[in-house]
Amino acid sequence: MSLRQRFLAHLKARFGGTMPLRIVFWDGAAIDFAPAPLVTLGLGSPRLLRLFLTGNMSGLSAAYVSGELAVDGQAQDVLQIGITIAEQVGKSPLLRRIAPFFSRRRRRRTKARDAADVRFHYDVSNEFYRLWLDRHMVYSCAYFKTGGEDLDTAQEQKLDHICRKLRLEPGDRLLDIGCGWGGLICWAAAHYGVTAVGVTLSEPQVDEARRRIGDAGLAGRVEVRCEDYRDIAGEAIFNKIVSVGMYEHVGIANLPLYFRAISRLLKPGGVVLNHGISAGDRDGQSHGPPGGEFIDRFVFPGGEIPHISRVLYEIAGAGLEAVDWEDLRPHYPPTLLRWVARLEALCEAAIAAGGADRYRVWRMYMVGMAHAFDRGWLSVGQVIAMKPLANAPALRPQTRDYQYLPEPRPRLHSTAREPPEKLGAEFATGAG
Mark whether 192 and 260 lie in a shared domain: yes
Quick one: 246 and 329 in the same domain?
yes
Q: Is the pLDDT of residue 391 over 70?
A: yes
Mean pLDDT computed over 82-91: 65
**Within a domain: residue 99?**
no
The tens digit of pLDDT for each residue in 113-160 reads 666 766 666 667 899 999 999 999 999 999 999 999 999 999 999 999
Q: Which residue has the higher pLDDT, 395 or 214?
A: 214
Range(s) of the domain holding residue 18: 3-91
Q: Would 141 be classed as within a structural domain?
A: yes
Q: Are residues 235 and 376 in the same domain?
A: yes
**Residue 225 backbone dihedrals phi, psi, to 5 degrees:** -130, 150
Identify the residue with better confidence: 226 or 19.
Answer: 226
pTM of the predicted model, to two decimals? 0.81
Percent of the chain having pLDDT more than 70? 80
Higher pLDDT, 296 or 48: 48
Indicate the range of 75-84, 258-267, 335-344 predicted with least confidence: 75-84
Q: Distance from CA of residue 20 to its chain's centroid?
A: 31
Phi-psi region of 167 (alpha: psi -120 to 50; beta: other; left: phi over 0): left
Q: What is the pLDDT of residue 192?
A: 96
Question: Is there a domain that residue 105 lies in?
Answer: no
Cα separation of 296 and 245, whole Å? Answer: 16
- Residue 319 shares a structural domain with residue 423: yes
- Mean pLDDT, the chain, integer: 83
pLDDT tops 70 at residue 417: no
Structural domain tally of the chain?
2
In a domain, residue 339? The reply is yes
In a domain? residue 399: yes
Query: 360 versus 350: which is more confidently predicted?
Result: 350
pLDDT in tens, 28-79: 988 888 888 888 989 999 898 888 877 777 788 788 888 888 888 887 788 7
Q: How many residues does the chain have?
A: 432
pLDDT in tens, 329-355: 999 999 999 999 999 999 999 999 999
Q: What is the pLDDT of residue 427?
A: 29
Which of left, alpha, beta for 194 (phi over 0: left; psi -120 to 50: alpha)?
Answer: beta
Helix, strand or coil, per DSSP, at residue 178: coil
- Does the pLDDT value for residue 381 go beyond 80? yes
Do 136 and 181 belong to one domain?
A: yes
Cα distance between residue 167 and residue 203, in whole Å: 30
Same domain flag for 193 and 323: yes
Mapping DSSP to helix (H, G, I), strand (E, B) and coil, where does residue 10 land?
helix
Residue 319 within a domain = yes
Domain-located, residue 97 = no
418 — pLDDT class (breaks 50, 70, 90) = very low
Quote the pLDDT of residue 365.
85
CA dist., res. 424 & res. 141, Å (int): 33
pLDDT of residue 412: 62
Using the 3D structure, point to which of 40, 59, 91 is the last residue of a domain. Answer: 91
Residue type, 409: R
| pLDDT for position 290 | 47
> Which of 170, 218, 217, 171 shows the shortest CA–CA distance to 198?
218
Residues 390 and 339 in one domain: yes
Nearest-5° angle of CA 178, CA 276, CA 146?
110
Regarding whether 131 and 81 lie in a shared domain, the answer is no
Q: Is the separation of the CB atoms in 117 and 403 below 8 Å?
A: no
Same domain, 325 and 190: yes
CATH for 415? 3.40.50.150
Domain boundary, last residue among 35, 58, 91? 91
Residues 86 and 119 in one domain: no
pLDDT of 422 > 50? The answer is no
Q: Worst-scoring range by mean pLDDT, 33-37, 94-98, 116-120, 300-304?
A: 94-98
Whether residues 281 and 175 fall in one domain: yes
| Domain assignment of residue 163, yes or no | yes
Please give the Cα distance from 202 to 226 (Å, whole number).
Answer: 7
CATH classification at residue 64: 3.30.1050.10
pLDDT, mean of residues 407-417: 53
Rg for the chain, CA atoms, rounded: 24
Same domain membership, residue 196 and residue 82: no
- According to the model, what pLDDT value does residue 312 have? 97
